[in-house]
Structure 1
């Protein structure tokens, strides 16, 4: 009985005692996934003297854990204004000491079940004599934090999540308690004595979409997928970017041309080539690695491509346009490839493509280093192409107290750098539907982008964009805005970005600085002595393998060799350079930084393999036709009949190489221009013996690159050489002498011995022979007579 009582008591104790929950009482969010907090709306997103005196932050708290959470409460906290570029990042993660509560916690739910969510709205004045308020008394960029606490079942109260954002304040509105009664003195305007010279590079680029390994002249054009059809259509990504730039610089919105003066379209020539090809109709391959032989289906974006390209051409007539590096190729990796022709296509040749398709003269002299940091190999590559301004990220660490150093630098005699703020670049890259952390950003400045909502990330970008104009102590007073080249914004986000630029200019915080002025002033301001670019820490995921770069170098070298042998087809107008250009451009697409860092090497290797197979097929398409039998030469000088085949759509200059055994002399036919199709040849040879022998025949380009497969011909000769010659000559001489002798005797009337009939020997009669033998015996008697 006692045992039963004790057992019951133990069971009651276990049921009454809550299980310990590891990490339930942790002070950091994310130690256990119970609640998530998402910011859904910030009003106003930019505070001005006329935007209203109250800031509203609305969002949602959701229970994502495996148990109910009780006593769910939230509150808003704020921090002092950001004083340096690094603060644009460090205030969004890590330490919380700088934040103080704006108001007490507000209860959202006494118990939030699994999967449930609850909205919240926090609204407080920007400043005020009465609490609570944000206590903002001067323009600047202020970090805000929304903190959510709760008590998970079987746990203790803890801070379960938070969300941080930046609030740009261009001007402080009046205190709501005072209103406008004090007039102008009721507001605090920004300091506009030192405006920032602003340049905005508005990107129009995309990932490589053309299928690999397809040479020029191939119709219809093949794409890897049909995503561009959606992107170019109304509401798509590229349509959104183009529409926003067109609207913000239109005469109705930008009457004085201030925004248009600061804005320059950064256009990827690879995108233009692709869209221009789509306007003529295209197909989508079902196997991206299949090359020419893969099945396809019709694309759906021809009309969208025509409309988008037409609008871009119209906008380019009134707005600055500059070319990006072709397909946003990684210049550091391209330097390791070591092909000067490919480097020229990627850099200086990119502008020519943009000009040809858009019908304009684009701005030259600047090289946009997009996702990657500026390295010594990149500087070396650019310096070999001539003077240029490299627009690249400045160096910045979490320990830097002030703003990033944007002073122009000279990295080599021909390369100067116009730096942009990496804190700003990273904030811009974190916006939209595909947020990324650029590889040029220091590891200590990276924040977990997927944790923040799209609205919060947009707020961070607006704050970073306006920070330098609101920080009069930051030097120098210049700013280049370079978002990620494959920026993915929705229409509202794109409009907010350009509205912020316009607001900064209209408020006197910024002045437009056209890109040509950036190029000119950077060359003038850069110190005369070169200062080599610091060697940054490269992201191992984004580093293109040496195996890929060496493979690209080998394939490109063979491709240049083939191109130099190709000529133009007079019937179609297709040139050798135009025929092989897409394959060289494929090598630049393989190095594209628009591909996510962790997938670059795989995508590069796949494209390289496909192009390698195509290049091998091109070399194999020009060859000697194998007759499959043997030749018989009637004489020692009978020509050798051959047939050459060219399956390429353009003529090619080739040389014929014939390897014959001793005793066979072959006349070199020299350089041959082989048109598309078949070309019969008769090669003069001379054979000095009679027997069956083999001849090896192969083709090469004029520079010696082997084409096709070598062919071995079996040849039989009827020639007898010098012995036959002398025998024939001797017989002819004897015959001539005999004929002359007969004619001589005939003319003199003398019989020739050859005409006389020799006496026929007389054969004895058998009877006479018998009688003769009889005479030798005893003479006959008289009686017998």
Structure 2
């Protein structure tokens, strides 16, 4: 009786009973797509011993082609449990030969015209003494497929679409076909003898939003768009992620703190910097390229930023927090840039930003690579920054090249250098998590053999794949190792239902005994202890998606701008009035260069957006150099004497002082005293440069300004100088005349001392006398001088 009633239930839940239909082809859908099948709901999402022994799949078939389709029928198919990590991906693509029908085709519509759709609902027991059933008798992860066939106008019956998803079975409930007084005896629980140590990183990140090329101390803050206002507001993406983590780890929901121990917030410092800036008010640029000169409008997310950041600070007090690489910069590209200072900002200095803004002590010692692969250049960059545990996906393909079989993924810790040890994550699990949500993606580290089409699957189907991937290793007690790190994409776009389901799966795995919490500090300590002392060969230089690689033009532009900026920063000092330092003033521009290398941007758009951002940043760096100049007088100077100082005026439009040197290209005959290092404060600084001139003429003098390390500042100035100082010829003539006078005076004195008349006196007129016969004083003064009177 029970078997017959179950069969009746199956028939009643379908739209119509199957007729005598031609069998559809088992191949993939044709190139021209006529029908689109989507899964709207799977109940239960996770099968457990305490749940119902039935699985319900509901969905819809839509005609998206250019003609009507007749005799539209659907069928549910199932395959054997997944046995390898690769199977989590390969079972979702391919020919589908491994699938077997659960029941017959069922008609859902006699005909679907263009634009029409029809709903379906499939309902089957997990196992049953009589067909139809899913034939699932033990825990595991099972691939399911819904197949839709039809006959397009002017065509033959064919398989027109399918939808695949994974069904995680934590425990098998009692068989409803068994007439037993003790149904618990038929329960098949999972094997919990070897639980998996599980760690889950919960990302809070976004793609770069701050407008490029804006140095520090610029108010108000300028954003390229206002999408963060929506994301931080109630119901937004970042609000959903924060709310889900807060709820799942709250004491009422997680009284034993099991989920709280396994979960750790992975926070991008760039997001914190942006949100923290939004709390004081900001503007949004309206220029097409996000430039600094375009019009702006007030931002609308200040209140949302204040509330979100306050909630995050509160959650961070009771939950593990770790920092991602700044702006999720690509470490492989950053190594190609070859800037150790920029690499330090991206890695070792990122936790300082998180700690300062959130007021906590974040977990140190691990580097989260996120979307990118761990390549040889990335290992070299990390090794130069000090000891770290690199949390990254290893290189893994769907099939072994020799045997053609699906190999197990290698999750054993490796030591590549004395400084770098890896804590591997399963790339197939990471890819399944990346497929969840409203904007599915494939991580850059994923090998092409593991890629599956994401856009054709519904959000519900992709959520099922993520749930199954999270639970798969726990359901395979023989699979090694018995530890796992769950790493979703940093920019994760989940709906509230998605986030709740995934965190519920984490709690289910722990509460069912399939997993135990493994806090991130424990991961770091155990990885360092388990890593062999022998260093392994470095990974390949190029791994994963080749389209995600940053071009050489982007890398060289970042390197050039970064080198110039470091040179300028070294010359800047602290403004005593405001406390602003040169490093703080130029920090946003260095961060811009990391934002240009961000992996949060989809691969196809990375290079274009990176070029746009670094071009604006490089322009600003040039403007900073040109902001320190020599004021051009626009006329000519006249030096009154040979030692008259050269008057100059220096101008500094930066908000911090800068250490500079003057370079005066003096012509021959002009000596300039080196003034040494000059601290030029913001504003104007008049100078009097000591010079010595040994000519009388008009000359051109070139004066330039540079940093103490020799970098040119501003534009050189050419001064027109006119000197009234004695020249060499006039100096010689004067000296000769003085010598002649000296000789003549000496000769007269010589004759006088000897009592002889001098020849110069022989032609003198007779001496005139006065009335008393004394010499005329005028004649005496003229002829003999004062000493002869």
Q: Kindly state the Cα deviation for residue 478 of structure 1 after the two structures are TM-superposed.
A: 0.5
Partner of 2:484: 479
Partner of 1:670: 676
The 5 Å alignment of 1:371-390 reads 371-390=371-390
The 5 Å alignment of 1:547-562 reads 547-562=553-568
Partner of 2:61: 61
- Partner Cα separation in structure 1 for residue 655 and residue 576 of structure 2: 11
Secondary structure of residue in 2 paired with 1:470 = coil
- Partner Cα separation in structure 2 for residue 450 and residue 291 of structure 1: 34
Q: Does 1:754 align with 2:759?
A: no
CA deviations over 1:183-242 (Å, ceiling 9, x no partner): 431211000000000000000000000000000000000000000000000000000000
- Partner Cα separation in structure 1 for residue 447 and residue 217 of structure 2: 45
Partner of 1:518: 523
- Partner Cα separation in structure 1 for residue 776 and residue 262 of structure 2: 123
- Partner Cα separation in structure 2 for residue 757 and residue 347 of structure 1: 95
The runs of 5 or more residues in structure 1 that have no matched partner are: 1-23, 759-785
Partner of 1:605: 611
Q: Kindly state the Cα deviation for residue 175 of structure 1 after the two structures are TM-superposed.
A: 1.1
Q: Kindly state the Cα deviation for residue 33 of structure 1 after the two structures are TM-superposed.
A: 1.2
1:175–1:693 Cα change, 3 Å? same
1:52–1:604 Cα change, 3 Å? same
- Partner Cα separation in structure 1 for residue 728 and residue 373 of structure 2: 77
Q: Kindly state the Cα deviation for residue 752 of structure 1 after the two structures are TM-superposed.
A: 5.4
Q: Kindly state the Cα deviation for residue 371 of structure 1 after the two structures are TM-superposed.
A: 1.1
Q: Does 1:345 align with 2:345?
A: yes
- Partner Cα separation in structure 1 for residue 175 and residue 29 of structure 2: 35
Q: Kindly state the Cα deviation for residue 131 of structure 1 after the two structures are TM-superposed.
A: 1.5
- Partner Cα separation in structure 2 for residue 425 and residue 757 of structure 1: 115
Partner of 1:488: 493
CA deviations over 1:704-756 (Å, ceiling 9, x no partner): 00000001100001112466567668679969989x99xxx99xx96557348
CA deviations over 1:347-385 (Å, ceiling 9, x no partner): 000000000000111111111111111100000000001
Q: Does 1:303 align with 2:293?
A: no
Q: Does 1:573 align with 2:579?
A: yes
> Which of 408, 415, 421 matches 1:416?
421
Q: Does 1:461 align with 2:463?
A: no
Contact kept in structure 2, 1:214 and 1:291, CA below 8 Å = no
Q: Kindly state the Cα deviation for residue 394 of structure 1 after the two structures are TM-superposed.
A: 2.4
Q: What count of residue pairs does the alignment treat as equivalent?
A: 730
- Partner Cα separation in structure 1 for residue 413 and residue 288 of structure 2: 43
Partner of 1:679: 685
The 5 Å alignment of 1:344-363 reads 344-363=344-363
Q: Kindly state the Cα deviation for residue 538 of structure 1 after the two structures are TM-superposed.
A: 3.9
Partner of 1:771: none
CA deviations over 1:474-519 (Å, ceiling 9, x no partner): 1000010000000000011000000000000000000000001111
1:506–1:573 Cα change, 3 Å? same
Contact kept in structure 2, 1:406 and 1:420, CA below 8 Å = yes
Contact kept in structure 2, 1:102 and 1:132, CA below 8 Å = yes
1:691–1:75 Cα change, 3 Å? same
The runs of 5 or more residues in structure 2 that have no matched partner are: 1-23, 400-404, 750-766, 784-789
Secondary structure of residue in 2 paired with 1:532 = coil
Contact kept in structure 1, 2:281 and 2:302, CA below 8 Å = yes
1:525–1:750 Cα change, 3 Å? farther
Partner of 1:767: none
Which structure would you say has the larger Rg? 1
> Which of 410, 422, 431 matches 1:426?
431
Contact kept in structure 2, 1:83 and 1:402, CA below 8 Å = no
Q: Does 1:263 align with 2:263?
A: yes
Partner of 1:442: 447
Q: Kindly state the Cα deviation for residue 550 of structure 1 after the two structures are TM-superposed.
A: 1.2
Partner of 2:706: 700
Contact kept in structure 2, 1:224 and 1:288, CA below 8 Å = no
- Partner Cα separation in structure 2 for residue 179 and residue 482 of structure 1: 45
1:35–1:289 Cα change, 3 Å? closer
Q: Under a length normalisation based on structure 2, what TM-score does the superposition of the two structures give?
A: 0.90
Q: Kindly state the Cα deviation for residue 176 of structure 1 after the two structures are TM-superposed.
A: 1.4
Q: Kindly state the Cα deviation for residue 590 of structure 1 after the two structures are TM-superposed.
A: 0.3
- Partner Cα separation in structure 1 for residue 433 and residue 290 of structure 2: 37
Q: CA RMSD for the aligned pairs? A: 2.2
Q: Does 1:645 align with 2:670?
A: no
- Partner Cα separation in structure 1 for residue 36 and residue 596 of structure 2: 39
Contact kept in structure 2, 1:289 and 1:610, CA below 8 Å = no
The 5 Å alignment of 1:39-438 reads 39-178=39-178, 181-287=181-287, 289=289, 291-399=291-399, 401-438=406-443
Partner of 2:632: 626
CA deviations over 1:562-592 (Å, ceiling 9, x no partner): 0000011111111100110000110000000
Secondary structure of residue in 1 paired with 2:535 = coil
Contact kept in structure 2, 1:429 and 1:435, CA below 8 Å = yes
Secondary structure of residue in 1 paired with 2:546 = coil
Secondary structure of residue in 2 paired with 1:73 = strand
Q: Does 1:564 align with 2:570?
A: yes
- Partner Cα separation in structure 2 for residue 243 and residue 696 of structure 1: 64
CA deviations over 1:448-488 (Å, ceiling 9, x no partner): 10110110000011011100000111100001000000000
